[in-house]
Amino acid sequence: MDSGNTEKRDLTLDLPDDCLALVFHHLSSTADRNRCSLVCRRWLAVDSLSRYRLSLRATASLPASSLLGCRFPSLSRLTLRCDRSSLSIPDGVLLSLSSLCPNLVALRLKACRHLSDDAFHSLALPRLVEFSASSCNFGASALNSLLASSPNLESLSIKRLRGLAADPPSLHVSAAASRLRRIHLKELFNAQALAPLLAGSLQLESLTVVRCSGDWDQILEDATVKVRGLVHLHIERSHVGDRGLSAVARCASLESFNLIKTPDCTDSGVAGVAAGCRGLRRVRLDGWRMNRIGDVGLTGLAKNCRNLKELVLVGLNPTASSLGELGEGCPGVERLALCGSETIGDGELAVVAAKFRSLRKLCVKGCPVSDDGMGALARGCPELVKVKVKKCRGVSVEGVEFLKQHRPGKALEFELDEEEEVHGKDNLELVVGNERTNVAATLSPSKSIVLRARMSFLVIAGSIRRW
């Protein structure tokens, strides 16, 4: 504009509505978009017609009819969340979604504790694909109604569903169950009520079970009789043993297998899964320092899973023998993590450096390794591009510098142990890259003690205020 022209004109008036909606979609946060909708009536109308995602505070005073029906006719993904100190939406608000949001594809409910099973009996969302509920009070009857009225449902996530504990295990299989591909279960009591649903989900590809009660050995046996297309399985802190793992071994298409803190699982179960699921590409085993999974289970992986790309071992105590077999039997491993092990030392790192020729990323945490292990890494693993070493007392800055000199241009993250931090020996974190090296300032013993005293005082003062 000419400096002499004093006429002011809104240049966005020349921008078509479609282009303005595209600009709104590129905003970084929902708050920015809400503020833009208050600029003028035109911006409000464009934002309303192009808003596909919405997250609302689902209190009892939520005016659902005016917000959802009139302002957001194109809404396809809706999140309703409430906090502990407020009354959540009643059943009538949820029932109105059938007429107000006919195009709804994804629905998420969080802490809507005042919704009962009756709210789902008349709910009709035929296009619903994803449903998630956490910290709610409805039970199996509501889930039955939801599955019956949502024939296109593919993803079901249930967390801390309190009503499920009071209901008898009466969840039946409907037409929607045959289309389910992803099921996520977390912190459920009386989770065996979902056994018929799992057994009837013939197209199930992903199953996650975290801290759920029930005999999961029997549930997995019943489910894998017909469900053989599992691709991802995550079991954490649930009652499952070798019997359940033998049922998992029927799923030959399994690619991702996470077994975390299940003390009843042993080498026999892990070896059985490896023998039955030869296409495994990502494996994570957390033995919880129980010493029930070790060299025998890892040898089973080495003999059967040649396509393995990622291996994470936490709380296990493998030896150089099993690590060497893994390196030879799984030549394509690119990511390896060894955490919380009492047997991973310099000799084992030397075996990793010599056998894992395709390794690109390595993480070693809480293991008794020293600078000699860093030297072995400097001479091996030709494809290595990133190394993380954390909480390893025997590794010093000299070992890191040696690895840096022999691996120019490689990224290296390093953290000293807490005792070394107190004495102020060296830096707390070191990152080595192509262009720069960030080194944290060295703390003397006196400065470190003063800093810790100040932090303790702040924590105590904050606790007193909250009390």
Task: Tell me the per-residue pLDDT of 273-328, one tens digit each, with 9 for 90 and over.
Answer: 999 999 999 999 999 999 999 999 999 999 999 999 999 999 999 999 999 999 99
pLDDT given for residue 359 in this prediction:
95
Of 198, 214, 230, which one is at a domain's C-terminal end? 214
Is 154 within a domain? Answer: yes
| Separation between Cα atoms, residue 352 and residue 369, nearest integer Å | 13
Q: Are residues 58 and 33 in the same domain?
A: no
Q: Which of 211, 149, 206, 147 is nearest to 178 (CA)?
A: 147
Contacts of 72 (CB under 8 A, 6+ apart): 48, 51, 54, 101
Q: Are residues 65 and 200 in the same domain?
A: yes
- Give the chain's residues under pLDDT 50: 1, 66, 418-448, 450-451, 457-461, 463-467
pLDDT given for residue 466 in this prediction:
43
In the block, which residue shows the tokens 């190394």?
A: 387
Range of the domain at 30: 15-51
Is 299 within a domain? Answer: no
Q: Are residues 43 and 141 in the same domain?
A: no
Q: Domain count of the chain?
A: 2
Q: Are residues 73 and 193 in the same domain?
A: yes
Is 152 within a domain? Answer: yes
Is 353 within a domain? Answer: no
Q: Are residues 102 and 184 in the same domain?
A: yes
What is the DSSP annotation of 22-46?
HHHHT-S-HHHHHHHTTS-HHHHHH
CB count within 10 Å of CB 452 equals 12
- Output the six-digit token pair for 136: 């709610």
Q: Are residues 28 and 66 in the same domain?
A: no
CATH code, domain with 153: 3.80.10.10
Of 214, 233, 248, which one is at a domain's C-terminal end? 214
Is 169 within a domain? Answer: yes
Q: Are residues 77 and 165 in the same domain?
A: yes
Q: Are residues 34 and 181 in the same domain?
A: no
pLDDT given for residue 172 in this prediction:
64
Is 191 within a domain? Answer: yes
Is 141 within a domain? Answer: yes
Q: Are residues 34 and 162 in the same domain?
A: no
By CB neighbour count within 10 A (0-12 exposed, 13-18 middle, 19+ buried), where does 390 fall? middle
Of 161, 189, 214, which one is at a domain's C-terminal end? 214
Angle CA(229)–CA(231)–CA(234) in degrees, nearest 5?
Answer: 120
Q: Are residues 59 and 181 in the same domain?
A: yes
pLDDT given for residue 214 in this prediction:
87
Q: Are residues 20 and 93 in the same domain?
A: no
| Separation between Cα atoms, residue 462 and residue 454, nearest integer Å | 12
Is 453 within a domain? Answer: no
Hey, is 67 helix, strand or coil? helix
Q: Are residues 62 and 195 in the same domain?
A: yes
pTM for this entry: 0.82
